[in-house]
Chains A and B, each alone.
Chain A
Amino acid sequence: MRDELSRAASRVLIATLALAISAGCNVNRAHNDHQRQQILQNYFSSDPQTFNPILVTDLISGRILERVFDPLIQVNNKTTLPEPGIAESWNISPDERTVTFHLRHNVRWFDGQAVTAHDVLFTLAVIYDPKVPNSVRPGLLIDGKAIVADAPDDYTVVMHLPRPFAPLLYSAGIQVIPAHILEPIWKAGNFNHTWGINTPPSEIIGDGAYKLTQYVQGQFVRLERNDDYWMKDEHGEQLPRLHGYVSLIITDSNATYLRYLYGQLDVYSPRPEEVLDIRDKIKQGRLHAQLKDIGIDTGESFFCFNRNPRHYTKDGHTDPKLKWFTDLNFLKAVAHLIDKKAIIDLVEHGLAAPAVSDVSPENKLFYNPNLKDYDYDPQLAAQILESAGYHMVNGRRVDPQGNPIEFNLMTSTGSPEADQICAIFKQDLENPAIGMKVNYQPLEFTTLVEKVDGSFDWDCVMMGLTGSIDPNDGSNFYRSSGNLHLWDPNQPKPATPWEAEIDRLMDEGAVEMDEQKRVPYYWLIQQILHDQLAVIQITRRKVFASWVNTLQDYQPTVWGLYKPEWMYFKND
């Protein structure tokens, strides 16, 4: 979940966020010791899966490691433009095929060794190693080819591109790993088992603003300031200002909110129904905190039908479901049956907007505002079904071959919100005029993910994906070969003409160097996904952030924190 919102270099699956709750408690917000000591207490909803920045697939590990490892280039979360990281500057050759990065001379690993061009080259070699499974690679392949890099000196990296590649500066946000420690391990073929969560934290050698100092499974992660960090503020004072983080691992969203109210957490992302509660408590002086509306969710949440033929063919039989789920008329009828207004009022307490495109309106450059939503209209849906040959027989909707329409709907457990959205959806599909049957099955998030991208054993799923600033970072979702191309992942070649078209647009959009000229490609991709209903969008939430009054210069944005190194606690 998002305690502090962050951006991933590739898309990551997320469970629909669980709603948390509050009690009418009188909060005595005395200054806590951890605030005096400049230690920020935040929270994670689950344990990290790895401490190896290359192997990260989950949000929590990414959140921890982005403080421990610095990227070559980082993205400014306020302007969404690339800005210097380990590389203090870069220049692009006139033919746009060579990019030269100049590294800072004062970046050091925690063990005192300098971070050099060799580390960057090593990191690239690991990412391109087919034996190392990682989600960074798809974004760094240009027409399926790797970027060739060399290092003329210790602090210069030159990347040679097969052809111009606009998203490079976003894709180059790779976290660099220390060659002097990991190269021998990688050469011995043990990289995939290195720096797991059981590694003693002192052995995790990074170069970021914080060191990992303690991890107790199911309890907390502790980070301590790296006193040798390269970043200084405008007065030449050492950054970061906070001395550390303690991230409590709290799986229960209810408990998380109560802990925030009782002063055990310093920052919090309230869910819609808590926003009002927090606002009231602040007004009544019972909570000394800030509440800010920071924008619209950058991710997406949707219903998706499984179109993977491998799931449906068994002993020479093809399940009729495959035919329904690839039938645009069926999907259109379903899209017209999603009562977004009800979901916004009932589930989101009015703090959301209908989602039309898979790109968030927060992505001002690439968001396509011209898509027309499928309005909630059960009558129209019934008409569409009738004219496509899906008739009512004995009160049940049957397909043209006479099979009654019935499918399983899965989502992750533990979220009353997802339960409610699915209850509304189920009710509309089972309404007597539509006559479908939906079997609702909430599953544990890990089980759900395993089914969706592992065993492909699912019919319809309601879940979410994180968003990205550059659409190319969504390659693993858009491209037919992507592992998060949910409805039919890892295709050897595109199964349908429109998927082939999206692949082509992705290729061409990445080559166009002028940002404004790239826009039409991605608008067209959004249009195709919208027309083909590969995923049926639901709603997008307004995002709020709340933090304690003593925390200064805390600047949350929908993409993540802006200048996190600058924030500190003001103690009186």
Chain B
Amino acid sequence: MNVPALVNPELQVAAVPAAAQRSLAREWRLASRTVRVSAGCLTLFYMFAAVSPFFASYDPIYQNRRMPDCPPMQLHLSAPSYWSHGLLWTDPLTMSDAEARTYVADTSHRIYIHFFSGGHLFTTDSETEPFYLLGSDSLGRDLYSRIVYGARVSMCVGLVGVLITFSLGIVVGSLSGYVGGLTDNLIMRWSEIEMSLPSFYFLLALAAIIPPGIGAAERFLMIVAIMSFIGWAGLARVIRGMASSVRSNPYVEAARALGGSRWRIITQHVIPSVIGYAIVAATLSIPGFILGESALSLLGLGIQEPTPSWGNLLSEAMDPQNLARYPWILIPGIFIFLTVMSFNFLGDHLRDRFDPSNAR
């Protein structure tokens, strides 16, 4: 556990920037390859969320009604003399049988793929002659673009959720642990009640009472709020245990002897000593939020169409017949999997760094 040293605060402030620079580079060197890949994945996905219009090839809700359930298209490298048209090209596909949704390639002309054109990373000249990197869904929407836009919901739900849960968990936990007595008793009994509720059913029940007419953003926030409401109790209990052990440390007693107020002692001494654990726990709990959102959206109670989220993109794959015929609709699941794994690796790594006593 890192012990906040009783040093001159000015010295500490001066030391921070250089140390931070050094430590970031040092952290990267210390990290294993798995952790580096994880960090890379997460950075990419957060960039998807931050600048979706750039990464997406097309409007995620544009329905190309002549190309439902179109398979991922094949890329071809142009001969050097055609590089002025585009480096890569694909054959346009046309649906040959509406019942079976089979596509035939039209080899008479090529669709060239342009990079950095029209504010997109890569796209084609028109939405009606598209290039589907990952195929299209049953309404003819580009799956890749939808995954990029879906990252907004799926990646942010973890961050926002953790922010709410942890502000609540840390404040309530520290307060309860430090103050003790009746307050502690009440808060902990309340958190036990909450922990004893079967969380997924509770989540379903709460999601069902969200009024139907509200906008996508409000709905998103409500879902996050619901999940946070369920998630804070476990963290608060652990923090409370740590806080009550910190309480009898000499530096806390010293602060108390010097007349520090309760609030000051909690914010200056108790919280900093538990924050390391909290960061690790936060990282490890983000996947829970992402999976929670996916599950709700999959069941139609989360993010509503046409707004994409990785969960509701997967709902088409709930139909085994669709899955057998159009296996690419499972790709959003790969993104969820990568994100969850990345957060877990990163969380493990952070725990090793912050809390060496627990290192394996």
Contact = CB atoms under 8 A, between A and B. Distances in A.
B319 A254 contact: yes
A423 B305 contact: yes
A457 interface: no
Given A424-B65, A427-B306, A350 B98 contact: yes
A266 interface: no
Contacts of B212: 439, 441, 443
Contacts of A419: 305
A273 B68 CA distance: 13
A439 B65 contact: no
Interface string B10-37: 0000000000000000000000000000
A349 B321 contact: no
Taking each of B95, B99, B140, B304, which has the highest tally of chain A beta carbons within 10 Å of its own beta carbon?
Answer: B99
Which bracket fits the contact residues of A? 35 or more
**Majority DSSP secondary structure for residues of A touching B:** helix
B207 interface: no
B300 A439 contact: no
Interface stretch (A21-29, A128-136, A141-149, A550-558): A21-29
Given A346-B68, A350-B98, A420 B320 contact: no
Contacts of B61: 427
Nearest to A349: B99
A369 B80 CA distance: 59
Interface string B291-320: 000000000100011100000000000011
Interface stretch (A186-194, A274-282, A322-330, A496-504): A274-282
A350 B306 contact: no
B191 interface: no
Contacts of B300: 413, 442
B5 interface: no
Nearest to A413: B300
Interface residues of B, number: 25
Contact of B319 (A21, A345, A443): A21
B321 A345 contact: no
Contacts of A276: 99-100
B139 A346 contact: yes
A92 interface: no
B244 interface: no
B65 A21 contact: no
B66 interface: yes
B65 A23 contact: no
Interface string B83-121: 000000000000101111100000000000000000000
Contacts of A21: 319-322
Nearest to B306: A423
A259 interface: no
Contact of A274 (B97, B305, B321): B321
A46 to B, nearest CB: 19
Interface string A334-367: 0000010110111001110000000000000000
A218 B243 CA distance: 53
B213 interface: yes
Given A423-B139, A423-B306, A424-B139, A350 B99 contact: yes
A276 B61 CA distance: 28
Interface string A413-444: 10010011001101100000000000111110
A408 interface: yes
B319 A416 contact: yes
A24 B99 CA distance: 17
Contacts of B98: 344-345, 349-350
B324 interface: yes
A420 B101 CA distance: 16
B78 interface: no
Contacts of B324: 23-24
Nearest to B212: A441
Given A23-B324, A423-B306, A424-B139, A342 B99 contact: no
A419 B98 CA distance: 19
Contact of A439 (B66, B100, B213, B319): B213
A273 B139 contact: no
A420 B213 contact: no
A342 B65 contact: yes
Interface in B267-305: 300, 304-305
Contacts of B101: 349
A427 B321 contact: no
A342 B62 CA distance: 13
Contacts of A274: 321
A440 B97 CA distance: 31
Contacts of A441: 212-213
Contacts of A426: 306
Interface in A379-417: 408, 413, 416
B306 A345 contact: no
A485 to B, nearest CB: 26
Contacts of B320: 21-24, 254
Contacts of A275: 99
Contacts of A19: 319
A249 to B, nearest CB: 22
A351 B101 CA distance: 12
Contact of B140 (A273, A346, A350): A346
Contacts of A272: 99
A10 B251 CA distance: 84
B58 to A, nearest CB: 14
A351 B125 CA distance: 33
A440 to B, nearest CB: 7
A277 B321 contact: yes
A194 B330 CA distance: 52
Given A349-B101, A420-B139, A424-B65, A440 B321 contact: no
A488 to B, nearest CB: 23
A339 B139 CA distance: 12
Contacts of A277: 321
B308 to A, nearest CB: 12
Contacts of A23: 320-321, 324
B63 A427 contact: yes
Contacts of A350: 97-99
Nearest to A24: B324
A21 B61 CA distance: 25
Given A273-B322, A349-B99, A408-B213, 19 more contacts: A19-B319, A22-B320, A23-B321, A254-B320, A274-B321, A275-B99, A341-B65, A342-B65, A346-B68, A346-B138, A349-B101, A423-B63, A423-B306, A426-B306, A427-B61, A427-B306, A439-B212, A439-B213, A440-B304
- Top 9 nearest A-B pairs (CB, nearest first) are A350-B98, A342-B65, A23-B320, A21-B319, A21-B321, A441-B212, A22-B321, A350-B99, A346-B68
Interface of B: 61, 63, 65-66, 68, 95, 97-101, 138-140, 212-213, 300, 304-306, 319-322, 324
23 contacts: A21-B321, A22-B320, A22-B321, A24-B324, A254-B320, A272-B99, A274-B321, A339-B65, A345-B65, A345-B95, A346-B65, A346-B139, A346-B140, A349-B98, A350-B99, A351-B99, A413-B300, A419-B305, A423-B139, A423-B306, A426-B306, A440-B305, A443-B212
